[in-house]
């Protein structure tokens, strides 16, 4: 699998992301083993690239791997686009999901113990059996602390 500057430019990626890509990878990024869960985890661990993950997934630059049963405890997923992600049975304890898009995500039996859910969008998310004590959804599906602001 190869990601190139030309591919990003053809998809009208934001100029700052194309420039950063050039600085870090040159004219192309060759992934001989293809796009893997490991690659996805590394990308999501980087605060800059994490903000572009949703765009890259949406535009077909990269596929999205399932996070089912993944250990994402203490992960910094601030403003991450995880819409439609399979997070079933994942350890999400103490992760920062503030401002994240989790709409339509599968959160079946996900562990959200002490996760920061402030401002996260859970609209349409599948979340039976999730203990989100202390949080409530507003009319748009965004979570906020009970009795507090989002």
Distance CA(13)–CA(94), nearest Å, equals 32
> What interhelical angle do 37-45 and 47-58 show, nearest 10?
130
pTM: 0.59
Q: Is 125 left (phi over 0), alpha (psi -120 to 50) or beta?
A: beta
Domain locations along the chain: 1-65, 67-150
114: which DSSP letter? T
Is residue 138 predicted with pLDDT exceeding 90? no
**What's the farthest any 2 CA atoms get from each other in the chain?**
51
Give the pLDDT confidence score for residue 125 in this predicted structure: 82
62-102 pLDDT tens trace: 988 888 888 888 888 888 888 888 999 999 999 999 999 88
More confident position, 4 or 103: 4
| Architecture field, domain 67-150 | 3 Solenoid (2.160)
Sign of CA dihedral 29, 34, 38, 43: positive
Is residue 118 predicted with pLDDT exceeding 90? no
Give the pLDDT confidence score for residue 77 in this predicted structure: 85
Distance CA(136)–CA(150), nearest Å, equals 9
137: which DSSP letter? E
The residues, ordered by sequence, that sit 6+ positions from 132 with a Cβ below 8 Å of its Cβ are 112, 117, 143
């Amino acid at each position: 699998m190869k990601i190139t500057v030309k591919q990003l430019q053809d998809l009208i990626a934001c100029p700052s992301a194309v420039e950063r890509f050039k600085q870090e990878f040159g004219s192309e990024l060759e992934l001989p083993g293809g796009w893997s869960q490991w690659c996805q985890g590394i990308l999501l661990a980087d605060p800059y690239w994490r903000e572009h993950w949703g765009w890259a997934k949406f535009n077909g630059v990269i596929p999205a791997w399932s996070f089912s049963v993944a250990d994402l405890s203490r992960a910094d997923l601030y403003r991450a686009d995880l819409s439609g992600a399979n997070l079933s049975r994942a350890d999400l304890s103490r992760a920062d999901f503030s401002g994240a898009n989790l709409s339509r995500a599968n959160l079946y039996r996900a562990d959200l113990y002490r996760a920061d859910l402030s401002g996260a969008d859970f609209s349409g998310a599948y979340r039976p059996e999730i203990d989100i004590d202390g949080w409530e959804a507003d009319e748009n599906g965004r979570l906020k602390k009970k009795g507090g602001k989002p």
